[in-house]
Amino acid sequence: MNFINKIKPVYLLILLVVIVIPVVLLLLSLFRSSAPRLPTSITPPITPIPSQTPVPTLAPGVPDLKIIRAAPIQNPQIAYLPIQAIELTFTNSIPPEELKYTVEPHVETTIRQGSISNALIIRPAVKWQDGETIVTILTSTVTSDGARLLTPYVYRMISSIPPAPVGEGNY
């Protein structure tokens, strides 16, 4: 008894922290790991599905061309004037004569350089036909450094002449 009274409480606390607590934690972890665990999340394994259509690729070293902006925005709820120009901004500069495209329904068009070197403006020679116009930029479009589109770019626009306002002064 005399020995226990001589041990200071500080030493007992150190003994408890250094030896007893780690031993108890070790024993708890041993017993816990032997029990079967439930999975923390039930996520099915992801199996890639083979693609039915081949993904187009370019030859090694050939840069790809992308259209990064089209104006006006494509929105089937908005009808534009039949004289509306379409501006396409590309990742690379394209001379206007190198742009390969189709227009459905067929309308004579002119192409000119945009306000920046990598933008082109497609404008109807007279006007777009009323209804939907589809402009498709073809993969045969090539820049001076050999960049080309991987897939055709399709731009859809609705055009119509707005109705005359109803009211006074319409004769």
In a domain, 41, yes or no: no
Query: Which pLDDT score, from 0 to 100, does residue 46 have?
Result: 55
Q: Is residue 7 part of a domain?
A: yes
Instruction: Identify whether residues 25 and 73 lie together within a single domain.
Output: no
In angstroms, the CA 170 to CA 163 distance is: 12
Task: Indicate if 23 and 98 belong to the same structural domain.
Answer: no
* Residue at 142 is within a domain: yes
Provide the CB-side half-sphere exposure for 27 (13 A, CA).
6
94 and 10 in a common domain? no
Per-residue pLDDT of the chain (171 residues; tens, 9 = 90+): 565 666 677 777 787 778 878 787 877 777 765 555 555 545 455 556 565 655 555 556 667 888 899 999 888 888 899 999 999 999 888 888 888 999 999 999 999 998 888 899 999 999 999 999 999 999 888 887 888 888 899 999 999 888 777 776 655
* Domain extent for 20: 2-34
CB 88 within 8 A of CB 157: no
Q: Are residues 28 and 104 in the same domain?
A: no
Pair (118, 74) in one structural domain: yes
Could you tell me the CATH number of the domain that includes residue 93?
A: 2.60.40.3710
> What pLDDT, on the 0 to 100 scale, is given for residue 153?
92
Instruction: Count how many domains the chain has.
Output: 2
What global pTM score does this model have? 0.60
Is the domain of 82 the same as that of 144?
yes
Q: Are residues 74 and 140 in the same domain?
A: yes
Q: So what's the pLDDT on residue 112? A: 93
* pLDDT score, position 6: 65
